[in-house]
Each structure stands twice: as C-alpha cells, then as structure tokens.
Structure 1
Amino acid sequence: MDLFTALGGSTPAFLAIFVESLVDAAVAMGFGREDARTVVAMVVRGTGGLLVGGEHPALLKDRGTSPAGCTMGGIMVLEEGGVRGVVGRALREAVTVAGEMGVQGLRRVGGVNGMRK
C-alpha cells in the first residue's frame, strides 16, 4: 500500500521536476519559456499515451535513438549522472515516508496494524 501511495502520489511531482528541468535548460539555450513548456508538455502527453497503450519504456527509448545521435548523447549524460539510482532512491524515500505517515495516522486513531489499544 505504501508503494502504491508513493508511486501514484509522488510521481506527478517527480515528473514535474523533470519537465521543469527540461524547460529551464531550453530557456538557458535561448528558447522561450512558454514555447519550451508547451513542447515538453506535448511530448509528455504523447509519451504517456504510448505507455498507457502498452508500449514498453525500453522499446520506446530504443526507438527514439540512433547510433551517435543527439538523443543517445543526452541519455549517456543522464546515465553518467546516475538518473536511475536517483529516481530509485527518491521512490524508496517516498515509500518510507508514506509508511511512517500511515503508522502515525494509526496511532492517532488508537491502533497499529489493525489492533486497538
């Protein structure tokens, strides 16, 4: 339950940080903020639709890259920066906090693990 709470509840904020980072980077390179936000939002919507439709994330990533291409270059930077580990740690922390919040809530109503005091 804590994993579902964290995955469903925290993912929008995690994705928003990634989107904001892309927009800020585009602005730093001269793109207009609203234009960058619109482009990234459209890409997120399209990618989300593909994922909901059953597209596997790894296949989606592989189909979007070409040898020595710009996407692969960017992916290499993300991987060198430990993006997967950071995302994993962020979700683990969200699950831990969700569990702590659940225990605190149960204590407030008088029980832990379904047991009343």
Structure 2
Amino acid sequence: MDSSIKIGFIGAGNIAQAIGICIIKKNLLPPNQIYVSAPSERNFQKWKELGVNTTHNNYEVILQCNIVFLAVKPQNIHSVIIDLSMSKNELDFDRLIISIIAGLSLKALDLMLRSVLQRYSLIKAIPNISIIVGKGTTVICDDEDKPASEYNIKLVKMIMSAGGICEIIPESLMNAASAVSGSGVAFVYSIIEALSDGAVKQGIPRILSYKLAAHTLLGAAEMVLETNEHPAVLKDKVCSPGGTTISGIHALEKGGLRSSLMDAIEATTNKAFELDKK
C-alpha cells in the first residue's frame, strides 16, 4: 500500500480491532500509520499492544488520515458528527470514508457528513469477526447515486480481503448479507455450542466436544466451497437408508432447525432496516 496512506478508526471495538490486526499482519501498513479514537480507555489495550496511535479526539483521526473507518454503533454516529463539526480547522483534502455501521444507509450517512467534510468518497463495508483469523466474509457497496471511484472500490476490497473473502453487492442487499455473514457467525457459535452440549450429554468431555463440533462445521463448510455441490446433495451422501444420520435429521426437522435459522436471518435483516429509520 502507498506509504503516504494513513488509516484511521473512529471506534475501537471488536470489528475495528479485527480489521486493524489484519492490516498489520498482512503488512499493508505499519502500526505508526494507523490511528484510532474512542471515548474511553476501555478498548485501547489491544490497540496499544499493536503499537498504533490512540486518541480520545475523533477529529484527530479525520485530520491525520486519508482513509477512515466509521466503526461506532448506529446510535453514536450523531455524537461523532457533532465532535467533527465543533472543530474550526478546515478539512480540505480528499478522504475515503468506510462505514462499517450496521443498518445505516449511505444516503443517511452522506447527509450527515456533508456538513463537516468538504471532499470525500463513501463506501460501506460489513465484515464479520472471523476476519481476525483470516477466514472472514466482507460485503461492500457504494451509493448508486454517488458512486465511488474504481480505485477506491479496489482499495477497500484489497484492505478487506486481508481478512478473507470480499464481495461487492448492491446496497439493497447489504442488510440481508450482513444477517447471513455478520450475525450468522453468532448463529453458528450457537450451533457449535448445542452440538457440544449434545456430545457432553452422551459422555464426551467438554473440551473434546468443542473441538469435534467446531471441526465438523469447518469441514462441512470446506466441502460446500470446494465441491460446489448443493448442500442437500452433500447431506444425502451422509444419510444412509435407515441409518443413524437420517434419524438425527428427522429430529432436527421436528425441532424446526431450518425454519428457525430462516427466521433468524429475517429478524436480523428487519432490525437493520429499523436502525436506519432512527
């Protein structure tokens, strides 16, 4: 990456930290070219261990950096805008603003930013926490009415690909995609925990049960990606007639596993749309 680039984070939470770790691990930028702001010291410990610049002043991040991730909760973006508007200094150079704020549309964010920034490009990116281990999923988009340059799109894709796959999609699909990959990580953790609990009930030690459950999901996911076969086809290859697996599948169907997961995606998507209206 260009040595003149400085990347900043307004917000120092888990997803921001994961992106920062990826940037440093992949040698995209050295720590001294990364800035992060947060209102308290609570989330700064990991950042300081990485050697990045930390501050409680959001304006300092905007002033120092030409790429800035907005990584605050939706309800806190208004206070960030107020912080920036209070400065008397002129922010007169081009910036790339990357929003990782769930549920906040680019149009709504653009209306807020135009009062405090003169020149900027705006892109939305929704990664999941798995980027910290290089197996993440990120979806990105720009505003169809105010598109980002091809260079900036490629730049964001390069940064986010440091943590896994990165796909470009229309903004209209962002909330649903975030439900699948962003929130979906938590759903998968619940599945791993449930499989582990079932194994413990049958006498398998807890630590071993976690390992077996996690590797089972990992292997199944790799099979889907490597073979390009429909999950139902792969499932049928495991289900022998009159066997143990089909008995377990029957139990899952009675419990409503598939409909529950579909409901979870729908509920998460709808919540994201609700947040954008606030």
TM-score range, shorter chain: 0.7 to 0.9
- 1:63 aligned to which of 225, 237, 242: 237
Over the matched positions of the two proteins, sequence identity in percent amounts to: 35
1:46 maps to 2:219:
yes
Which gives a bigger RCO, structure 1 or 2 (Cα 8 Å, sep 6+)? 1
What residue in structure 2 maps to residue 115 of structure 1? none
**Where in structure 2 are the equivalents of 1:69-84 lying within 5 Å?**
69-84=243-258
1:110 — aligned with what? none
State whether structure 2 residue 197 is matched by structure 1 residue 24.
Answer: yes
1:108 maps to none
CA apart distance, 1:65:
0.6
Return the offset for 1:14.
0.6
What amino acid is aligned across from residue 260 of structure 2 in structure 1?
Answer: V
- SS of the aligned residue for 1:76 comes to helix
Counterpart position of 2:208? 35
SS at match of 2:245: helix
Within 2, Cα distance between the matches of 1:31 and 1:76?
Answer: 23
Q: What is the alpha-carbon distance in structure 1 between the residues aligned to residue 175 and residue 223 of structure 2?
A: 27
**Offset of residue 92 of structure 1:** 0.6
In structure 2, the partner of 1:85 is 259
Partners in 2 of 1:55 and 1:40 — Cα distance? Answer: 22
Give the CA deviation at 1:21: 0.3
Q: Which residue of 1 aligns with 2:128?
A: none
Number of paired residues? 104
How far apart in 1 are the matches of 2:179 and 2:275? 11
Q: Which has the higher helix share?
A: 1
d(CA) in 2 for partners of 1:5 and 1:99?
Answer: 11
Question: Given residue 78 of structure 1, which amino acid in structure 2 is its aligned partner?
Answer: L
Distance 1:46 1:84 in 2: 20
Q: Displacement of 1:40 after TM fit? A: 1.2
Moved over 3 A (4+): none
**Structure 2: which 5+ runs fail to align?**
1-173
Matched residue type, 2:184: T
Aligned residue for 1:7? 180
SS in 2 for 1:30: coil
Q: Please, what is the CA RMSD of the aligned residues?
A: 1.1
Residue 114 (structure 1) aligns with = none
2:277 paired residue number: 103
| Cα distance in 1, alignment partners of residues 215 and 264 from structure 2 | 25
Q: Structure 2-normalised TM-score?
A: 0.36
> 2:143 maps to what in 1?
none
Q: Which of these two proteins has the greater Rg computed from alpha carbons?
A: 2
- Deviation at 1:68? 1.1
AA of the residue aligned to 2:266: R
Q: Secondary structure at the match of 1:80?
A: helix
Separation in 2 of the partners of 1:61 and 1:3?
Answer: 25
